[in-house]
Amino acid sequence: MKTFSLIFLFGAILFSCGNPATNKSVGNTLSNPMEQIRLGKSDLFNGEKVRLFLYQNPTESKESNKLFLAALDEFKNKKNLISASEGFMASIAAYPNAKSYYELGNVYMETKNYQRALDAYSLAEKLGYEPFAKVMFNVACAYSQLENFPMSADYLQYAIQAGYSNIDNIEKDTDLAKLREEDPSLFKRNLDLALAGMSDIENLLWLQFKRNFIQATFPLNMNSDQGKMVFDDKNRISYDFERFVAEMRDERFSREVSKGFFHFVQVADKKDFVALIYIVRDEFNGDDSPLTYRLVTFTKTGKIIDKKEIAGREDYSELLKTCVFQKDLSFTITNYETTFQKDPNEEGYYDNPIVSKKKIDTEKYRIDTSGKIVFIEGKPLAETPA
C-alpha cells in the first residue's frame, strides 16, 4: 500500500451551477462559504457540512485530540460504551478526524448498531484513515451482520487487495460468521479472488479514486442559487485517475490542459454498481467559470457503465440545468433560460447577476439496478425548440 499511501482531506464544495454573483441559501446545504459552520450532534454524519467545516478550519484542534484519547480510554480500558460513544462524538464535533470516526464505528459494532457503524466507517475512509484495509474489513463485517452478503463479500475482497493479511481472523471473526456460514460459496469465491489479486494495482487505484467522494445527503440539490463554488486543490481529481474520468483523457493530450476536475459526492454504492458525481470547470476563467456536474456509474471494479451531465452548463450562453437527486436514485433536471442584469454581449458575464430565469422543460431519470441511467419522462433538452 505504500505506492498508494496518499493523504486525503476534504476540500470544500458548496452546491452551485450558475453565476458567481448569486448568493442565496437553497435546499439542504449552506450557500455562503464565509458563513461559519458549527457541527452539532445531528451534523456529524453530514459529509457536506463536515467537508465545509474542515475547509474553514484547516488546523487540527488539540481539544479534539484530548477528547479522542479520553474516549479511547473509556472504550478500550473501561469498556464504557456509552461514555466512549459520547466522547468520540464530542471529539468529532470539535474537529472531525478519521481516528474518531473509526473508533466510533467500532463502538457501534459493539452495540450492534451496524448501519450507524457503516456511516462512521465511511467518513473514516473519506478522511483518510490508515490502514485503509482495516476500514474495508470492518465494513465487510458490518454488512455481514446486516446480512447483506454481496456487499460484505465485496468489501472483504477490497480489504485483502488493499493489504489486509490476517487470514486467520477472516476465518474466525464472529462479525463475519453470517457471511461464512450462510453464504459459504460467495465467501470462498471472493476470498479466492482476493488472494489471487492481492496488490492488484488497478483495483487499488479504483479504491483510492472512489474513497474521495463523500456520501451525499438527500434530497441532493444542485442549483444555481446556491452561491459560489469553493474549490480546493486537495479536492482536485489527479490525472493519476484519468481512466475513471473520460473527459480528462481528452484534456490530457490537448496542447493545454484547460479544464479542472473535482470530486463531489457519491450517490450510490450498490451490489452491482457505484454512482459518483464530479464537477468540471474551465480553468482559464477560474472561480468565474460556469460548472458542469457529471453523473457517472461504474462497475464495482471501476469500469464506466453510463454517464450524464445533470446540472450546470459549460457556457453562460447555454441553458442552465438544475437537478434534484432523491434517495431512490431518481432525479429531476430542470432547464432554464437565464437573463442577466447587463447585456452579456457588451458587458460579459463577470459581476453580471442573473435577474430572471425562464423554465424551459423538465426531465426525469433514474439509475436502474444495472447502473444504467434511464429516461422516465419529460422533454429532453435535445427536443427543446430553439
Q: What pLDDT does 48 receive?
A: 84
Q: What pLDDT does 23 receive?
A: 36
Residues recorded for the chain: 386
- CA distance linking residue 186 with residue 152, whole number of Å: 10
Q: What pLDDT does 253 receive?
A: 53
DSSP label at 59?
Answer: S
Q: What pLDDT does 81 receive?
A: 97
DSSP-assigned states of every residue in 312-332: E-SSTTSPEEEEEE-TTSEEE
In DSSP terms, 308 is beta-bridged to 295
- CA distance linking residue 114 with residue 216, whole number of Å: 19
**What are the CA-CA distances from residue 376 to residues 264, 266, 312, 334 (Å)?**
25, 22, 21, 14
The count of other CB atoms within 10 Å of the CB of residue 128 is: 18
Amino acid at 112: K
Domain with CATH 1.25.40.10 in the chain: 37-209
Q: What pLDDT does 64 receive?
A: 95
Q: What pLDDT does 231 receive?
A: 58
Q: Which three cell numbers stand for residue 47?
A: 459529509
250-283 burial code (b ≥16 CB/10 A, e <16): ebeeeeeeebbbbbbbbbbbbeebbbbbbbbbbe
Residue 93 backbone dihedrals phi, psi, to 5 degrees: -65, -35
Q: What pLDDT does 230 receive?
A: 47
CB 101 within 8 A of CB 95: no
DSSP label at 213?
Answer: S
In DSSP terms, 255 is beta-bridged to none
The helix (run of H) or strand (run of E) holding residue 361 is: strand 354-367
CATH of 37-209, one of 2.160.10.10, 1.25.40.10, 3.40.50.300, 1.10.760.10: 1.25.40.10
In DSSP terms, 367 is beta-bridged to 373
Residue 331 backbone dihedrals phi, psi, to 5 degrees: -150, 150
pLDDT along the chain (386 residues), means of 10: 33 32 35 71 91 86 94 94 97 96 98 98 92 95 97 93 89 97 95 75 83 90 55 75 83 57 92 94 71 94 94 90 96 94 87 89 97 89 43
**What are the CA-CA distances from residue 362 to residues 7, 332, 333, 377, 381 (Å)?**
41, 7, 6, 8, 8
Provide CB contacts within 8 A for 276, sequence distance 6+. Answer: 210, 213, 264, 265, 266, 267, 295, 296, 297, 298
